[in-house]
């Protein structure tokens, strides 16, 4: 059974069609990068996969959960699917450790000791084991983004989604965050990421998907796709390296 199955999804915002019959299959342990110009539908697709946006038609199944608008099923899905955004959304009045322990305690009903253990392990995985008692405003942007990743990991998700998580960071901090994502990829985490980091997509993603005008225009093994794009649109996108 594939970890993510997106079949023929359509999504419009008002009169504006954003996704036009998009289908995508992601196998367990695969890393898939979504690339394309702003407005091509890639972030909307990611948000649909996590149920943050409802689809007009089609079907989505993620980690064994069918998305059909049922709130109970949606809650179950969110325990198995982590999502990290460009903004970190950490609670400033809580320590790093408390931020990470919140969801396992409330959503997964973990005891304090178990939640703390999961938080410590997640922080160690992102290279911030010593920051458990720090407050978010004591951290750099790159460190805060790594805490946001740790917060998702503490829920022990089956799938991780990343929506342009480095776009607000300078190059040095971007590298910090990308290396964490690379570690997750090596550990076999199923990941779908929207990214402008072409070098990262080429090196780390098993499959790269080029989206254009609400459709999957071109997709394939990353190395092959970047080396020999088949469509004029993707060739133009890569030559411009649009940000």
pLDDT in tens, 197-211: 999 999 999 999 999
**pTM of the complete model:** 0.93
Question: Mean pLDDT for the chain?
Answer: 93
Residues 222 and 197 sit within 8 Å (Cβ to Cβ): no
Helices 171-186 and 141-153 cross at an angle (nearest 10°) of 20
The DSSP letter of residue 131 is: G
Q: Which of 104-113, 208-217, 233-242 has the lowest mean pLDDT?
A: 233-242
* Calpha distance 12→136 (Å, rounded): 36
What is the model's pLDDT at position 8?
A: 97
**What mean pLDDT do residues 94-116 have?**
93
Q: Per-residue pLDDT for 241 more than 70? A: no
236 Cβ contact partners less than 8 Å away, ≥ 6 residues apart? none
Domains of the chain: 4-15+27-89+158-240 (3.40.50.300)
Q: What are phi and psi of 20, to 5 degrees?
A: -125, 75
Length of the chain: 243
pLDDT tens sequence across 18-50: 999 999 999 999 999 999 999 999 999 999 999
Going by DSSP bridges, is the β-strand pair 31-35/190-194 parallel, antiparallel, or unpaired?
parallel
């Amino acid at each position: 059974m594939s970890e993510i199955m997106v079949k023929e999804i359509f999504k419009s915002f008002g009169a504006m069609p954003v996704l036009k019959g998009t289908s995508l299959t992601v196998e367990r342990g695969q890393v898939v990068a979504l690339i394309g110009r702003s407005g091509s539908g890639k972030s909307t697709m990611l948000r649909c996969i996590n149920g943050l946006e409802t689809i007009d038609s089609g079907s989505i199944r993620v980690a064994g959960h069918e998305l059909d608008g049922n709130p109970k099923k949606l809650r179950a899905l969110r325990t198995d699917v982590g999502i990290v955004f460009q903004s970190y959304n950490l609670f400033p009045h809580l320590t790093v450790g408390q931020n990470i322990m919140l969801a396992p305690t409330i959503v997964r009903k973990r005891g304090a000791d178990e939640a703390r253990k999961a938080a410590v392990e997640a922080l160690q995985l992102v290279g911030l084991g010593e920051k458990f008692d720090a407050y978010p405003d004591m951290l750099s942007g790159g460190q805060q983004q790594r805490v946001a990743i740790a917060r998702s990991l503490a829920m022990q998700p089956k799938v991780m989604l990343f929506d342009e998580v480095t776009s607000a960071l300078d190059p040095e901090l971007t590298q910090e965050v990308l290396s964490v994502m690379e570690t997750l990829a090596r550990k076999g985490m199923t990941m779908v990421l929207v990214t402008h980091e072409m070098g990262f997509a080429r090196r780390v993603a098993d499959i790269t998907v080029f989206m254009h005008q609400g459709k999957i225009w071109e997709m394939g093994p990353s190395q092959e796709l970047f080396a020999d794009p088949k469509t004029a649109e993707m060739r133009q996108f890569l030559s411009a390296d649009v940000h």
